[in-house]
Amino acid sequence: MARLTLERVSFWYPATERPALRDASLAVAPGEVVALVGNVGAGASTLLLVAADLAPRVVGGIIKGTVDFRGRGNGEGGRGIVLPTPWTQLSGMAFTVRDEVAFGPANLGWPRERIAGAVDRALDALGIGALAARDPATLSGGELQRVVIAGIVAMEPALVLLDEPTAELDPEGAGLVWRLVRALAGDGCSVVVATSDLNALPEVAHRIVWMEDGAVRRIGDPALLAENALCEAGLATTVADVWRTARLGAPYPLTVAQAEERWRQ
């Protein structure tokens, strides 16, 4: 049974005439990583807000269709979202990174030892153990992005929604986040991620959702990222795009490793 189901969902932000999401349907299974790809204005961020129950509940607006989440309210066994604006997601109540990451679990009323364990694991997964004693206000953009992600996963949610989680990260940080996504899925957590880091997806996502103008245009496995239509939309991986530009014939390889294999044949 799907953990998250959107059925023909449309959404209008307050005081707008055009829907930001149009008739979108999507089902996400436990342990599945689904990536939303699309150009600016495609509706990926809006879909995440709807899936998180923030739209329309918090941002206002009008929704049609049904959103069904099989899990608890928020936090443990529930759903957590990482917004693309990490500094807006700090509690403002913590003077160390450790306390910031502990803020969510502490609010779930967990025993102290369980909180400490969850915080340690989250700091470790994001490679920010060395920042534990720092004041969040002194961190760089990329460091903050990792702290916010740690704060969400420390609550052990059943559904994690990520909006451009690697936008401000260095390659090491991005690598850690993508590994964490796979690890969460391995533990049965569902992950929906909107990202423009298309080159990371062949090794991370089980399914790709191509969004355009608020609608779900196609859903497929990562090979979708090497199709002509996605190349034309600027949504193919770099390797697929280069292969096509060089007129080397389809199907195009998705990754450097696939290209190498093909080249040697």
Partner 1 sequence: MAAVSAELRFGQVSFSYGTVPALRDVSFALAPGERAALLGRNGAGKSTLLRLVTGLLHPAAGKVSVGDWDTSGRTPESLARRVGSVFQHADQQLFARSLRDDVAFGPRALGLAAAEVARRVDGALAALELSAHAAEHPYDLPPAFRKLAALAGAFALEPAVLVLDEPTAGLDRPLRARVARALSERAAAGVVVLVATHDLAFAAEVLERGLVLDRGRLAWDAPLAALLTSSERLTPLGLAPPVGAALSAALDLPGRPVRERDVAHTLARVAAARGRV
The span of 52-60, 62-70, 213-221, 233-241 binding partner 1 (CB under 8 A) equals: 233-241
Cβ–Cβ < 8 Å for 80, 150: no
Cβ–Cβ < 8 Å for 82, 89: yes
243-262 positions binding partner 1, by CB under 8 A: 243, 245-249, 256-257, 259-260
87-106 positions binding partner 1, by CB under 8 A: 87
Residue 130 makes CB contacts below 8 A (sequence gap 6+) with none
Nearest residue (CB) to partner 1, 66 versus 238: 238
141-180 positions binding partner 1, by CB under 8 A: 141-143, 146, 164, 167-174
Q: Assign 3-state DSSP to the chain and report helix, strand, coil percentages, each to 5.
A: 40, 20, 40
Nearest residue (CB) to partner 1, 112 versus 247: 247
- What's the angle, vertex CA 102, arms to CA 89 and CA 136, rounded to 5? 50
Number of residues forming the site for partner 1 (CB under 8 A): 45
Distance (Å, rounded) from C-alpha 237 to C-alpha 137? 36
Residue 199 is a binding residue for partner 1 (CB under 8 A)? yes
Q: Which of 7, 234, 250, 251 binds partner 1 (CB under 8 A)?
A: 234
Residues in the chain: 265
**CA distance readout (Å), 210 to 42, 150, 222:** 9, 28, 11
Cβ–Cβ < 8 Å for 224, 201: no
Kindly state the tokens that stand for 142. Answer: 């990329």
What 3-state class would DSSP assign to 132? coil
Rg (CA), the chain: 19
Nearest residue (CB) to partner 1, 87 versus 183: 87
Nearest residue (CB) to partner 1, 152 versus 211: 211
Q: Minimum distance between the CB of residue 72 and partner 1, rounded to whole angstroms?
A: 31
Nearest residue (CB) to partner 1, 116 versus 167: 167
122-141 positions binding partner 1, by CB under 8 A: 134, 138-141
29-48 positions binding partner 1, by CB under 8 A: 38-41
Judged by the rule CB under 8 A, the positions of this chain that interact with partner 1 are: 16, 38-41, 84-85, 87, 134, 138-143, 146, 164, 167-174, 196, 199, 234-235, 237-239, 241-243, 245-249, 256-257, 259-260, 263
